[in-house]
């Protein structure tokens, strides 16, 4: 695949794109001309989301290779297989090119090894089967992927703690049913997502733990007649042990479903967050402003600044759900042991992992460059009578039954709406028309600052509790 970057493309974005492509296991040859930079991508590019790459705004064109071409002084073919890409160096390349032709990767490796070292290579498949080899490979691959996703998630959680600390006292409306409900702080809102991501981190760790048992040595389905030491091999490959039943060992894909489920829940959390970012960045809310790097304009409306990155994350959530469904449906009708249906797990779980990594790689810097607008949040909180509960509590603490207090405050809210007032500006005389219990101290009780500060129960929205929540997440992450 050839990717042509726009003339004068942002160097930081270009480096981010190259690093991300390398992380997808692709070899990259970079050719820098006077007017354009060309990236030659070598490897399996079928899983790469070109729409997301194009949305960075630095790509001029993308062309998939359909005929032989030369790169790094080598002639590449569309059906060539690239292995051992290694650490690619700009301008020089460090590629190990091997022509394709094997029935599958296992037969290909054996044939290539035999070609390199002679007949000894033909011993490679002794006490092995493609069935247990592929079961091993997918576990090794997903172990690495779960580790990478967990690190990206930890970075996001750490950032949320920093944002929460910086905005622990910034008051905004809290919502239920998308209606203004009670005042909260922006820091409190950020920590709500940090808690969600903590659970995601735990689910990934749990699924990786259950997956970390070696199936190698199960062979086709019944074990082997050779005196192998499965425990020694498992230890050498950093597994916690071996799968205890060979039939189950070659046919188990529970871990694929479990990881896909964990990733689906993670994407659900990212999608909910993205939806709030989309709303908050609109003129209807204007609680935040996204950096231009994570927004796009309209082709005909010059005033538009669209939150495309957040929308893409939200949209890709359904894609990961589809991957989970693919795995579950594929597995539901398979008898023991291995069946060819199982090759369908690769495309689904690879796509789920790749999609989550892409989304996390975008979400963190998008939030890091996001501008918080405290005044707009405070102004929104001042409307909508979100201190009405505190006014009812004021009466209840002075001996009025809560249900009676609830009714009185409802009548006061209706009066304010009819007269264009808010609870803070309604005169004391108007309050006393409804209850003699009201006194001048009520105004201090229903100020937004007081409403927030009084909610100091564990996990509450007061600034001190927000800091405690950030400290908890930081302790989970090992941050001192």
Q: What is the set of active-site residues?
A: 177, 298
| Separation CA 449–CA 71 (nearest Å) | 64
* Phi, psi (degrees; rounded to nearest 5) at 100: -75, -175
Strand-pairing partners, residue 182, are 174
Cβ contact 317:272 at 8 Å: no
Nearest-CA neighbor of 394 among 429, 443, 427? 443
* Phi, psi (degrees; rounded to nearest 5) at 307: -80, 60
| Separation CA 347–CA 349 (nearest Å) | 6
CA distances from 371 to 166, 265, 365 (A): 12, 27, 12
Beta carbons within 8 Å of 174's beta carbon, 6+ residues apart: 180, 181, 182, 183, 184, 189, 386, 461
Cβ contact 276:366 at 8 Å: no
10 Å CB burial of residue 60 (0-12, 13-18, 19+) is middle
Nearest-CA neighbor of 474 among 164, 125, 131, 41? 164
What is the dihedral angle through the alpha carbons of 157, 161, 163, 166, rounded to the nearest 10 degrees?
-170
> Which tokens hold the place of 432?
């006393």
> Which tokens hold the place of 149?
């996703």
10 Å CB burial of residue 203 (0-12, 13-18, 19+) is middle
Q: Tell me: cis bond preceding 362? Omega within 30 of 0 counts.
A: no
10 Å CB burial of residue 135 (0-12, 13-18, 19+) is buried
> Which tokens hold the place of 198?
């903590």
């Amino acid at each position: 695949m050839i990717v042509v970057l726009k003339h004068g493309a942002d160097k930081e974005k270009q480096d981010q794109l190259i690093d991300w492509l390398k992380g997808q296991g692709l070899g990259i040859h970079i050719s820098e001309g006077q007017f354009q930079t060309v990236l030659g991508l070598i490897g399996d590019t079928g899983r790469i989301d070109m729409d997301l790459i194009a949305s960075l705004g630095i790509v001029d064109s993308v062309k998939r290779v359909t005929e032989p071409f030369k790169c790094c002084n080598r002639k590449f073919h569309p059906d060539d297989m690239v292995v051992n890409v290694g650490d690619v160096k700009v301008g020089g390349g460090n590629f190990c090119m091997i022509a394709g032709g094997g029935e599958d990767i296992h037969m290909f490796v054996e044939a290539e090894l035999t070609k390199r070292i002679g007949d000894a290579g033909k011993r490679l498949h002794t006490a092995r089967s493609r069935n247990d080899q592929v079961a091993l490979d997918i576990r090794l691959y997903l172990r690495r992927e779960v580790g990478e996703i967990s690190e990206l998630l930890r970075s996001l959680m750490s950032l949320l703690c920093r944002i929460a600390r910086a905005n622990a006292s910034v008051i905004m409306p809290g919502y239920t049913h998308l209606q203004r409900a009670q005042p909260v702080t922006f820091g409190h809102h950020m920590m709500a997502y940090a808690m969600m991501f903590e659970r995601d981190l735990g689910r990934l760790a749990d699924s990786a733990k259950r997956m970390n048992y070696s199936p190698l040595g199960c062979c086709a389905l019944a074990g082997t007649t050779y005196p192998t030491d499965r425990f020694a091999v498992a230890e050498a490959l950093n597994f916690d042990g071996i799968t205890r039943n060979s039939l189950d060992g070659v046919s188990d894909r529970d871990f694929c479903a479990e990881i896909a489920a964990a990733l689906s829940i993670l994407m659900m959390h990212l999608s909910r967050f993205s939806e709030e970012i989309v709303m908050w960045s609109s003129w209807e809310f204007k609680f935040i402003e996204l950096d231009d790097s994570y927004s796009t304009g309209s082709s005909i409306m010059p005033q538009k600044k669209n939150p495309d990155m957040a929308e893409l994350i939200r949209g890709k959530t359904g894609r990961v759900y589809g991957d989970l469904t693919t795995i579950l449906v594929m597995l539901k009708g398979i008898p023991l042991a291995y069946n060819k249906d199982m090759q369908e797990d690769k495309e689904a779980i690879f796509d789920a992992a790749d999609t989550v990594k892409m989304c996390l790689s975008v979400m963190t810097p998008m939030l890091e460059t996001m501008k918080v607008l405290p005044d707009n949040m405070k102004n929104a909180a001042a409307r909508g009578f979100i201190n009405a509960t505190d006014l009812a509590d004021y009466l209840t603490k002075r001996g009025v039954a809560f249900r009676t207090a609830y009714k009185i405050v409802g009548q006061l809210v209706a009066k304010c709406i009819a007269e264009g007032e808010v609870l803070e500006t309604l005169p004391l005389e108007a309050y006393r028309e409804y209850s003699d219990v009201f006194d001048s101290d009520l105004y201090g009780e229903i100020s937004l600052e007081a409403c927030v500060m009084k909610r100091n129960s564990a996990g509450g929205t007061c600034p001190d509790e927000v800091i405690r929540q950030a400290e908890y997440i930081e302790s989970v992450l090992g941050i001192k």
